[in-house]
Amino acid sequence: MLHDSGSWHWEFNEKVAAIRDRILGIAGLRRTDGWEAIPLQGSGTFGVEAVFQTILPPQGKVAVMSNGAYGERIVLMLQHAKIDHVVLRTLEDTPNDPDALEVLLAKDPMITHVAAIHCETTTGILNPIAALGAMSRRFGKTYIVDAMSSFAAYPIDFEACAIDYLISSANKCIEGVPGFSFVICRRANLLATEGWARSLSLDLLGQLKEFEKNGQFRYTPPTHSVLAFEQALHELDMEGGVLGRAARYKRNHEVLLDGMKALGFRSYLPEAVQSYIITSFIFPADPKFTFQEFYRQVSEKGYLLYPGKISQADTFRIGNIGRLFESDMRSVVSAIGEAIGEMGVRI
């Protein structure tokens, strides 16, 4: 990351071209089959918003499948962009409902696009993106999947899931540093959205055209993040690609869950719908427990917990992704055990 890249220099442009192809490789796709991976400056949210700002026709309408904060964030984006939409909500511990989508699509022909979150990181729940995609395809709708926290750690079959647009970012399961998101889509589909972009800097088609014209990001690229990403891709390869990474995260999740259960904690989600990306735990009922104090104690032992993002239950979250191994998960469990002991909390 300390190399000072010239952002228009061929040396840097070659790296950008290479990472774009390697992102497609993770997805099992190829440019020669018409697919593109388009990196975009900014965090993951910028990539998701760029899709809606770019590909929705003036009269477009989106059906949003929501069971957490990231589904609701898409709703906010659509409100800001004044794009017509309808939201199909399920409870935060309940996966999206493909049958409800079928009923909706059958009765509302104005809907042009369907949007879903693969792993809703709010809770760690896994949504049925293949069943939702099959439904979208049956009704001829464009299907958008936010796979921010799952891409590269869950195998995703674009054909089977009928995905038209998928969004992820540099710093989740690919383990790069923050700085950019990327969108995977078919070149022909994106070209067909010409003239619809509602935003200048979030115009995904504009970004693709710039890559095709001179190999560069439009506007200043996150040079250091791109260099780190190249290394992160190398480490992903060394680990055995998506399946290798999946195995480590799965193990992290199991070790964490077993350890936390042994301390008396209960996880929020039923195991059948729980991903191995992030795990939510329910607050102990003992009134001596406050999250603030618990967080402080555990952070002093070297571990930062995630507060819950859930509105329907008091929970905190522990991530299983990133440069973490079984030994880290054992250590965080023992730090939590000590903190609970020092606070005098009984579970």
Ligand X SMILES: *Cc1c(COP(=O)(O)O)cnc(C)c1O
Residues that bind ligand X (CB under 6 A): 43-45, 70, 117, 121, 146, 148-149, 169
**Could you count the other beta carbons within 10 Å of the beta carbon of residue 140?**
8
Which one, 142 or 181, has the nearer CB to ligand X?
181
Q: How far is the CB of 121 from ligand X (least distance, A)?
A: 3
> Rounded to the nearest whole angstrom, what is the least distance from the CB of residue 314 to ligand X in the complex?
21
165-169 and 142-146: which strand pairing? parallel
Around Cβ 136, how many Cβ atoms within 10 Å? 28
Q: Toward ligand X, which CB reaches closer, 127 or 297? A: 127
Minimum distance of ligand X from residue 41's CB (angstroms): 12
Cα-based distances in Å from 125 to 122, 300, 305: 8, 29, 18
Q: Which is nearer to ligand X, 148 or 156 (CB)?
A: 148
Tokens, residue 293: 């104090």
| CA 24 – CA 36 distance, rounded (Å) | 7
In what side-by-side order are the strands of the sheet with 165-169? 35-41, 180-186, 165-169, 142-146, 113-117, 61-66, 84-89
Q: Which residues contact 70 (CB under 8 A, 6 or more apart)?
A: 117, 120, 121, 122, 146, 148
State the minimum distance, in angstroms, from the CB of residue 215 to ligand X.
Answer: 25
Choice between 149 and 279, CB closer to ligand X:
149
CB of 330 to ligand X, least distance (A): 25
Beta bridge partner(s), residue 185? 36, 165
3-state secondary structure at position 144: strand
Shortest distance in whole angstroms from residue 124 CB to ligand X: 10
Q: Nearer Cβ to ligand X, position 45 or 193?
A: 45
The alpha carbons of the chain give a radius of gyration, in whole angstroms, of: 21
Q: Tell me which residue has its CB nearest to ligand X.
A: 44
Cβ distance to ligand X smaller for residue 45 or 136: 45
Instruction: Give the whole-angstrom CA distance, residue 160 versus residue 22.
Output: 21
The secondary structure element, H or E, covering residue 247 is helix 241-263
Q: SS3 for 218?
A: coil
* Beta carbon nearer to ligand X, 44 or 259: 44
Task: Give me the least distance between CB of 275 and ligand X, in Å please.
Answer: 11
Report the C-alpha gap between 80 and 64 in whole angstroms.
15
State the number of CA atoms in the 13 A half-sphere of 112 facing the CB.
Answer: 11
CB of 319 vs ligand X, minimal distance in Å: 10
CB nearer to ligand X: pick between 117 and 227: 117
